Amino acid sequence: MNQASPASSEAATDTPPIVDKGADKAADTVADTEKTTHFGFEQVPEAEKVQRVRQVFDSVASNYDLMNDLMSLGIHRLWKRFTIDLAGVHPGWKILDLAGGTGDLAAAFAPLVAPEGEVILSDINAAMLQEGRNRLINKGLTQGLNYVQANAEALPFASHHFNLVTMAFGLRNVTNKQAALESIFRVLKPGGRLLVLEFSEVKLPVLKQMYDLYSFQILPRLGEMVAKDAESYRYLAESIRMHPNQETLKQMMEQAGFERCSYHNLTGGVVALHSGYKF
Ligand SMILES: C[S@@+](CC[C@H](N)C(=O)[O-])C[C@H]1O[C@@H](n2cnc3c(N)ncnc32)[C@H](O)[C@@H]1O
């Protein structure tokens, strides 16, 4: 078990450590050595994608929050606010914030489920999870929060456990998205809901042109200037273009067993929030 060091010495006493549920092992088992997949616009073996995605998030972890605000001009906060409002969280719920990174959603959910509920901030990447844990501790959030390093494709949780699973800007990085959706379906309780917030297909032609220019010309330069890492931000732009569009993702959710699937386009389809229930 990989126990991460706490953000401060006081926090060590009452804050759970990051529990490594074999994210690396699961990634190796799940990846098919023969098959290839896309990493941005490149075609790579499935097992290599997991490593490359890890390198990206290892590299961006320490600047992630700053870059998120800069890249989206703060709009990611509104997309997440919409997600939190739509989730309609109740006290006592058990929530999994998957690919949760630095924990924006987990931080909002923790007070809403208190005092009996539980929020698990989970991510495949130890560096991102460490940033998230430190950040939540520094906000004074400890009650009902746990941290689990895990691969979304092979979730290490009991079946029928969570009322809500959220995944914000994580699914497009997952090698086998269908396996992840099926794994999420398994861990949800009957009546439980999945919310996937993710970049999607821009629906307004004028916005699309500006967005392409921004993503491929400005974003890598911003990454170079602020985080000294143009490559990772080039990958982020490319991975958005390779992600299934609104209707395709809805169909994939239905195929995984979700019902009453729907989506909201936000900012003209730059981002979509997909919702589906397990009955
Ligand atoms: C763009 S960040 C999103 C973080 C956070 N949810 C947010 O909205 O700010 C994407 C996250 O997905 C995680 N990730 C990538 N592949 C994953 C997988 N197979 N299972 C779980 N998390 C994964 C990355 O480590 C990264 O922290």
Q: Is residue 196 part of a domain?
A: yes
Smallest CA separation from ligand 1 atom 4, residue? 101
Q: Is residue 168 part of a domain?
A: yes
Q: Is residue 5 part of a domain?
A: no
Q: Is residue 172 part of a domain?
A: yes
**123 annotated as ligand-binding:** yes
Q: Is residue 3 part of a domain?
A: no
Distance CA 129, CA 102 (A): 6
**At a CB cut-off of 8 Å and minimum separation 6, what does 117 contact?**
91, 92, 93, 94, 95, 144
Query: Is 248 within 8 Å of 173 (Cβ atoms)?
Result: no
Q: Is residue 4 part of a domain?
A: no
The closest-lying atom of ligand 1 relative to the alpha carbon of residue 236 is 1
Distance CA 258, CA 270 (A): 24
Identify the domain containing residue 272 by its residue range. Answer: 11-277
Q: Block means of pLDDT (10 residues each) for the chain, length 279 residues?
A: 39 72 63 79 88 89 91 95 98 98 97 97 97 96 96 97 98 96 98 97 91 91 89 90 96 98 97 98
Q: Is residue 248 part of a domain?
A: yes
Residues with CB under 6 A from ligand 1: 53, 57, 68, 99-102, 104, 123-125, 128, 151-153, 168-170, 173-174
Q: Of the candidates 67, 73, 102, which has an alpha carbon nearest to the alpha carbon of residue 233?
A: 67
Distance 101 CA to ligand 1 centre (A): 6
Distance 198 CA to ligand 1 centre (A): 11
**102 annotated as ligand-binding:** yes
Distance 170 CA to ligand 1 centre (A): 4
Which pTM was predicted?
A: 0.92
Q: Which of 125, 155, 166, 178 to mutate to test the pocket of ligand 1 (most atoms within 8 A of CB)?
A: 125
Query: Is 203 within 8 Å of 266 (Cβ atoms)?
Result: no
Q: Which of 38, 80, 123 to mutate to test the pocket of ligand 1 (most atoms within 8 A of CB)?
A: 123
The CATH number of whichever domain residue 175 belongs to comes to: 3.40.50.150
- Looking up tokens 């959706």 gives 181
Distance CA 91, CA 110 (A): 9
Q: Is residue 6 part of a domain?
A: no
The domain total for the chain is 1
